[in-house]
Structure 1
Amino acid sequence: MEEQAEKNREFVLKTPLSVDDTRNLRVGDIVYLSGDIYVARDATHRRMLEDLKKGKELPFEVKGATIYYAGPTPTPPGKVIGSVGPTTSSRMDATVEELLKLGVRATIGKGARSEEVKKLLEKHLAVYFIACGGAGAYLAQFVLRRDVLAYEDLGAQALLRLFVRDFPLIVAYDSFGGDLFEEGKIRNRGITLY
C-alpha cells in the first residue's frame, strides 16, 4: 500500500518550471499546473525550428516553458477557448530535442513516446505530462486566457499562449527514466480482464 501511495502524490506547480520542480516529480504523480503554457502542434513545431535555424528568437521565453500538444476547436461565444484536448505526442518526437536544449522543461500530450524522447527528458531534466484525451471541453474550463503569439496563418495550429489555473495532468515520463506506460504493462501482466 505504501508503494501505491507514493505513486499518487499530488503537486500544485506554477510555470515557468524549474529543474527542482521536475526533479521532484515521479511517474504517476498528479500535477495541477497554473501559469502560461504554449500550444503547438506539428506545423507549429516545424515553423519554430525554421525560425531558430534562421537565427530568430521564439516569441516566448523558452527556458522553463511547458508546451502543450493540442489543437483547440473554434471558441464559442462567451468562452475563452473551445475544446482543448491533447493530441498524439509522438508526432512531435522528431522536433522535441532542439526545444529541450533551449530549456523547455515539460511537454503535455497523450500517448506513449519514443525511447529517444525518454532519454532526452533524462538528459535535459524535463518531464512529459499526459492530459485526459477525449476531455477537451472539460480541460477548457481551466483556461483563463488565450493569446495568439505567432503563425496565425496556420489556423488551428497557430502558436498560442494559454494562461491556465490548476490544469490537471499526470506525469507519464519523469526525468529519471520512469515510464508510466511501461509500468502499466508490468502491473497488468498475468491479470485476466473480463
Structure 2
Amino acid sequence: MAEFHLTTPLTDADTTQLTAGDVVFITGTIYTARDAAHKRLMDLIDSGVQLPFPLEGSIIYYVGPSPAPPGRPIGAAGPTTSYRMDSYAPRLHALGQKASIGKGKRSDEVKAALRENMAVYFGATGGAGALLSKCITAARVIAFDDLGPEAIRELTVENFPVLVINDTKGGELYAKPDLAAVGLD
C-alpha cells in the first residue's frame, strides 16, 4: 500500500497509478450526491440539460451532511452506503466522472465501468463524519436545494482521507485475503 496526495479534477494519470488499499488524501473540489440527486442528474442528462457541475475528472461523495454548526461550513459528513447509486454510476463514469466516495461494496457493473473508464471507488470511514468534516473548508448547495441534506453540494476539501477500494485494474480491497484477519471482509 502506498500513500498519494491528489488534487481535483482527477486525470487518467492520477487514477491509473492507484492500487486497491492505497491511502489517498484529496484536495480541491468534490461534489455530493445521493440517490434522489442521482436520479435527477440522469433526468438532466436524458433531457440534454447541462449538469450543475462538470463531470469530467469529478469526484462524487455519497453523503447527506448534517446542518453546519456555528462557525463551520458543514456538519458531520460521513459516507452513505454506495450500492444505492450503483444503477447510475456506470453511466456517470462513461461521461467522465473519475471517482466516487462512499462505503460498502459495489456491483459487478460498477467495477466493470471503473475498469473501462479508468476510474476508482474510494472508501471513507463510516461513523467518522464529524472528523471527516474537519477536512471540508467550504460547502455550498449548487443544485436541488429542495432535497435538503441530499441536495448537491460543492465541497472544498483539504487532505480528505480515503482508501482505494476498487482500482482501474479490477483490484478490490475487500477481496484481499488478509482483510479477514483484521475484520474488514
Aligned residues of 2:81 and 2:104 also touching (Cα < 8 A): yes
Please, which of 31, 41, 46 is the counterpart of residue 38 of structure 1?
Answer: 31
2:160 aligned residue: 167
Equivalent of 1:136 in 129, 135, 156: 129
CA shift at 1:187, angstroms?
A: 2.1
Percent of aligned pairs with the same residue? 46
Distance 1:112 1:44 in 2: 20
Q: Deviations over 1:85-136 (max 9, x none)?
A: 0000011000111111110000000011111111110001000000000000
The AA in structure 1 aligned to 2:100 is T
The aligned residue for residue 80 of structure 2 is 87
Say if 1:174 and 1:60 are closer, same or farther in 2 by CA, change over 3 A.
Answer: same
Unaligned runs of 5+ in 1: 1-6
- 2:10 equivalent among 11, 17, 21: 17
**What is aligned with 2:178?**
187
TM value normalised by structure 2: 0.96
Q: Give 3-state SS (helix, strand or coil) of 2:49's partner.
A: coil
1:156–1:180 distance in 2 versus 1, CA, 3 Å? same
Other-structure match for 1:3: none
1:51 aligns with 2:49: no
Equivalent runs, 1:121-160 vs 2, <5 Å: 121-160=114-153
| Pair 44,188 (structure 1): closer, same or farther in 2 beyond 3 Å | closer
Distance of aligned partners of 1:154 and 1:29 in 2 relative to their CA distance in 1, 3 Å threshold:
same
Deviations 1:34-89 (A, max 9, x none): 00000000000000100111110101111000000001001111111000000000
In the alignment, the residues of structure 2 paired with residue 188 and residue 152 of structure 1 have an alpha-carbon distance, to the nearest angstrom, of 40
Q: Write the distance in 2 (CA, Å) between the matches of 1:188 and 1:167.
A: 23
Range moving further from structure 2, 82-91 or 93-102: 93-102
> How far apart, in 1, do the equivalents of 2:112 and 2:94 lie?
13
Q: Of residues 63, 70, 75 in structure 1, which corresponds to 2:56?
A: 63
**1:96 aligned partner:** 89
Cα distance, 1:83–1:176 mapped onto 2, change above 3 Å? same
Would you say how many aligned residue pairs link Structure 1 and Structure 2? 183
